[in-house]
Structures are given as C-alpha cells and as structure tokens.
Amino acid sequence: MEPVLELRQVSKRYPGHEAVRELSLQVPRGALFSLLGPSGCGKTTTLRLVAGFEQPTTGDIYLNGVRINSLKPYERNVSTVFQNYALFPHLTVRGNIEFGLRRRTAEAERRVRELIELMHLEGKEDRRISEISGGERQRVALARSLAVAPEVLLLDEPLSALDPKLRKQVRAELRSLQRRLGVTFVLVTHDQEEALSISDLIGVMNQGRLEQVGEPREVYRRPRTRFVASFLGAVNWVDGVGVRPEATRISSAPPTADVGSIPATVRETIFLGNCIHVEAELEDGEVVVAEVGWQDGRFARGDRVYLWWDRADELRFTE
C-alpha cells in the first residue's frame, strides 16, 4: 500500500544552521504517526515543510504519490492544528470551523455538523473564541482543520497548551478520534509518554536527523541508538551496555543463571507510590537505578547487593 505521505532525503538549511538533515520517512494511510524529539531537533520544521510554510532546501515531499514541493499551503490537501490554535478572533466558533469550506455543499454541511457533535461543541457555535475554554478552543481548531477533509492532519504539540491534568484525557480522546475518523495524523511532540501511548508509529528525531522509526514497542525495547534509548525512557549504563531500570533486578546473593550482573551498594531507596527506585552505586562510582515492586522494601542504605538482568534486555550500540 502506498504511503499517504512520504519524505525523501529532505533537508532544510538556514544560514548557519541545518534544521533538517536528509530526512526520509513514510507515513502509512490512516496511521497516527508521532515525530518525537527534544526542542530544536527539527520536528516542527519538518511539520512546516509538509504543510508548505517552508520549502525544503533539497529533497522531495510526496502526498499520495504526487510531488508537492512547489505547491503553496493553500494548494496542499494537508491541514495544520497550530500549537496556539490560531483561531480567528473576529469569527464565531462556527465561522472558524467553516472557514476553509470552498462551497456550501450538503456534504460539507453534514461534515461540519458531525464534527461539531463529535467535538461536543453543540450550543457553542455562535460563541466568540474569547468566550470558550482552552480545551474547547483545541476542539474548535481540530474541527476547523478536519472540516476541509485533509489527507493528512498535522498537529504541532497539541497537548502542550493544555492543563497538565487534562492532558491524559485529551490524549486518549485524540487517539479515539483519529481511529474513528480514519484520518492520517502526524503529531509533533517532545513528550515521550504521549508518543508511546497513542502512536501507531514513532519517528525519533535528534539534531535534524531521524534516528529511528518504528512501532512504540519496537522503538522502546530495541532502540537503535543511544539517543533513542535515553530519550524514550531511563537507561542504566553498565560497562557500555544499557539496561532499563524496570529490567534491572536486585538480589542479595550473586545470581546463578546466565544473566548479566554486577555488584553494587545501595545508596538510596525512593518510594514512588506504585514502585520503588533503588539507587545503587557500582564499584566505579556509577549510579544505577533498579525499579522494583512496592512490596519489595527489603533493601536499605549500605546493603551490598547484586544487580542482574536478562541478557535479552540488554541494549547494545555500535556507536
């Protein structure tokens, strides 16, 4: 099946700074694809390249197999949900949602009505943007972008403007919305929990480069680079080998089976509610964290222990 969106060796260079380096990726139709990375890694630039607000210095962008490099934003059938929503203050909720409709066909009207219902905005259509809440504004922005029936919906850090308490809930709603509509979503975020929890595919970016693309499980458990490993979750580094805290176990006696292990002294135990983090110091001074169940409160400061892990959980890198 042809991917709905494809980038081939796309680079974006600014004077003195390369924002995106030879990035190639394919987004399958109907997927929720997350571009994940720290600030400044080029993910937002990539989004803007797809939307048409920037032009690639080199490389090509294909939408449904058609090269769209030379198309202006208003000629591309992709739609963006901006980080600050960019809702038109002089229009009502309905005015905003209907803004992109070319003609008032019955089909379009029906879509708008459905979207208003889907977004729980009934009764608020005639309100001004200044009169609705932050969460409602996001829903209006979503409805507005979806009303033009785009091939791909681009979302720039959709949850960052929201109240932290709302984020988990809205995250889930976003996912179920995407599933329900079947529209391809490309989402940009720096929050790895967000990316892991709702994506079909994650593309991890660092300093303009795409370091790995894969399903969440894949990217988390089999990271291809050190960066991907440490960005997606915590990693313990023991002699150049990475082991995640949740895969690191502790025992008082040296393990007998064929597992990786190393002796250590307990420095601190931190109770986190649902689990305990045991900080242990290795002989070379390195501090390692083991995540154990909350019932497992056997360890105290100063205890000499053995940390061990399944060889299969080792993360090895060639760099």
Partner 1 sequence: MLAPAAVWMAVFVAAPLGVVAAYSFLTRGPYGGLSEPWTLENYVRLADPLYLRIVARSFRIAAVTTALCLLLGFPLALFLARSGGRKHLLLALVILPFWTSYLVRTYAWMFLLRDTGLVNTLLVEAGLLERPLPLLYNEGAVILGLVYGHLPFMVLPIFAVLERLDRSLVEAAADLGARPLETLVRVVLPLARPGIVAGALLVFIPCLGAYLTPDLLGGGKTVMVGNLIQSQFTAARDWPFGAAVSLALMALVMLGLTVFLRRGGERFL
When binding is defined by CB under 8 A, the residue of 49, 61, 148, 219 that contacts partner 1 is 148
Q: Which stretch binds partner 1 (CB under 8 A): 13-21, 99-107, 119-127, 172-180?
A: 99-107
| Minimum separation from the CB atom of position 103 to partner 1 (A) | 11
Strand partners, 41: none
Structure tokens of 129?
A: 């943007």
Helix or strand (DSSP H, E) at 135: helix 134-147
Q: Which stretch binds partner 1 (CB under 8 A): 60-68, 79-87, 161-169, 273-281?
A: 79-87
Instruction: Determine if 74 is a binding residue for partner 1 (CB under 8 A).
Output: yes
| Minimum separation from the CB atom of position 97 to partner 1 (A) | 10
Q: Using the minimum distance from each CB to partner 1, give the nearer residue, 82 or 306.
A: 82
Helix or strand (DSSP H, E) at 144: helix 134-147
The residues, any chain, with a CB within 8 Å of residue 101's CB and separated by 6 or more, are 108, 112, 147, 148
When binding is defined by CB under 8 A, the residue of 28, 30, 40, 100 that contacts partner 1 is 100
Q: Which stretch binds partner 1 (CB under 8 A): 24-32, 62-70, 73-81, 282-290?
A: 73-81
The residues, any chain, with a CB within 8 Å of residue 83's CB and separated by 6 or more, are 156, 157, 158, 160, 161
CA 110 vs CA 32, 106, 285: distances in Å = 25, 6, 65
Site string for partner 1, 191-220 (x = CB under 8 A): ------------------------------
Instruction: Determine if 44 is a binding residue for partner 1 (CB under 8 A).
Output: no
CA angle at residue 161 from 156 to 162, to 5 degrees?
Answer: 120
Instruction: Determine if 103 is a binding residue for partner 1 (CB under 8 A).
Output: no
Binding residues with partner 1: total (CB under 8 A): 22
Give the distance, in angstroms, between the CA of residue 42 and the centroid of all CA atoms in the same chain.
13
Instruction: Determine if 73 is a binding residue for partner 1 (CB under 8 A).
Output: yes
Name the one residue in this structure whose structure tokens are 């259509």: 125
Strand partners, 12: 20
The DSSP line for 45-114 is HHHHHHHTSS--SEEEEEETTEE-TT--GGGSSEEEE-TT----TTSBHHHHHTTT-SS--HHHHHHHHH
Question: What are phi and psi for residue 25, nearest 5 degrees?
Answer: -155, 160
| Minimum separation from the CB atom of position 115 to partner 1 (A) | 14
Q: Using the minimum distance from each CB to partner 1, give the nearer residue, 100 or 214.
A: 100
When binding is defined by CB under 8 A, the residue of 99, 169, 215, 287 that contacts partner 1 is 99
Instruction: Determine if 165 is a binding residue for partner 1 (CB under 8 A).
Output: no
Which residues contribute to the site for partner 1 (CB under 8 A)? 51-53, 72-74, 78-80, 82, 84, 86-90, 99-100, 102, 144-145, 148
